[in-house]
């Protein structure tokens, strides 16, 4: 398998086969937002990758494996495994980027851009509404079983792109890029209802400030925008659920299209 023989025979060959299978699975999980988040310990990720590799070795016994991983052919096969796995995980990463983008639009309209919180997935910072949208999307994604469909598609990728035949091609890469454009449209659909309500509130406060110049615009406008934004989020909660559920389905469907 690696050009070296430690004297363990078939057991050693099976071990290196599992290590090779861990390459694609590990790249996919590290690129995915749920499994590769900064809050997930490395030990948990390693155990999960190893468990899925063992299952893949049992479910897919006919997956071709390079005879030597230290050869040029073996290194190219490993690079192809990383490419396919990272692409499948990156599609989910694009889907999970829509809610924080919508939250930035809403928070900017409400005047709450300064309310930031730590992002446990990306390791950076996000707005308070972005963290709320992320939690809702994670719950919906897990609730509808989309993570199981994604893992099933990851295993199916070994049939669609067997080792040594992992070049995705421009058509499949254009699908991933096109899905990135859909993310902006999804973020706009999520934030548009709340933004329109906030626009009306700001228009009304502007009219009041012109009608009664003695009123303090900042003392009146900011609390009104915050209260109107929270009320709009409560009213549009069913719409948010539908949008995020459709986003989860679109992400899984896009992964399926890449495999086709």
Residues in CB range of 159: below 8 A, 6 or more apart: 60
What is the number of domains present in the chain? 1
149 in any annotated domain: yes
What are the DSSP calls for 59-121, one per residue? Answer: H-TT----S-TTSHHHHHHHHHHHHHHHHHHHHHHHHTTHHHHHHHHHHHHHT-TT-EEE-TT
Condensed to tens digits (0 to 9), the pLDDT of residues 196-242 reads: 888 888 787 777 777 766 666 666 667 777 788 788 888 888 888 88
- Segment 176-205 shows an average pLDDT of 82
Instruction: Tell me the three state secondary structure of residue 17.
Output: helix
Condensed to tens digits (0 to 9), the pLDDT of residues 25-42 reads: 888 888 888 776 667 777
Q: How far is the CA of 106 from the CAs of 134, 162, 185, 195, 233, in angstroms?
A: 14, 44, 15, 6, 10
85 in any annotated domain: yes
Containing 227, the helix (H) or strand (E) segment is helix 217-235
Tokens of 24: 């694609």
4 in any annotated domain: no
5 in any annotated domain: no
82 in any annotated domain: yes
* Parent domain of 235: 10-259
246 in any annotated domain: yes
């Amino acid at each position: 398998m690696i050009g070296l023989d430690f004297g363990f025979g078939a057991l050693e060959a099976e071990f290196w086969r599992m290590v090779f299978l861990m390459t694609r699975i590990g790249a996919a999980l590290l690129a995915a937002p749920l499994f590769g988040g900064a809050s997930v310990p490395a030990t948990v990720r390693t155990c999960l990758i190893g468990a899925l590799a063992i299952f893949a070795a049992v479910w897919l016994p006919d997956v071709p494996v390079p005879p030597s991983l230290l050869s040029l052919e073996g290194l190219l096969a490993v690079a192809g495994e990383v490419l396919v796995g990272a692409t499948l995980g990156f599609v989910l990463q694009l889907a999970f980027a829509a809610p924080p983008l919508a939250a930035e639009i809403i928070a900017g309209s409400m005047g709450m851009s300064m309310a930031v919180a730590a992002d446990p997935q990306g390791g950076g910072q996000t707005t308070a509404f972005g963290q709320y949208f992320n939690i809702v999307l994670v719950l919906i994604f897990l609730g509808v079983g989309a993570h199981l469909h994604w893992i099933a598609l990851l295993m199916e990728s070994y049939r669609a792109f067997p080792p040594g035949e992992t070049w995705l091609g421009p058509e499949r890469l254009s699908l991933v890029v096109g899905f990135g454009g859909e993310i902006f449209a999804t973020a706009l659909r999520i934030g548009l209802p709340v933004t329109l309500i906030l626009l009306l509130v700001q228009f009304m406060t502007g009219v009041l400030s012109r009608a009664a110049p003695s009123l303090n615009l900042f003392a009146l406008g900011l609390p009104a925008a915050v209260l109107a934004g929270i009320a709009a989020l409560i009213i549009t909660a069913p719409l948010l659920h539908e949008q995020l559920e459709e986003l989860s389905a679109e992400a899984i469907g896009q992964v399926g299209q890449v495999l086709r």
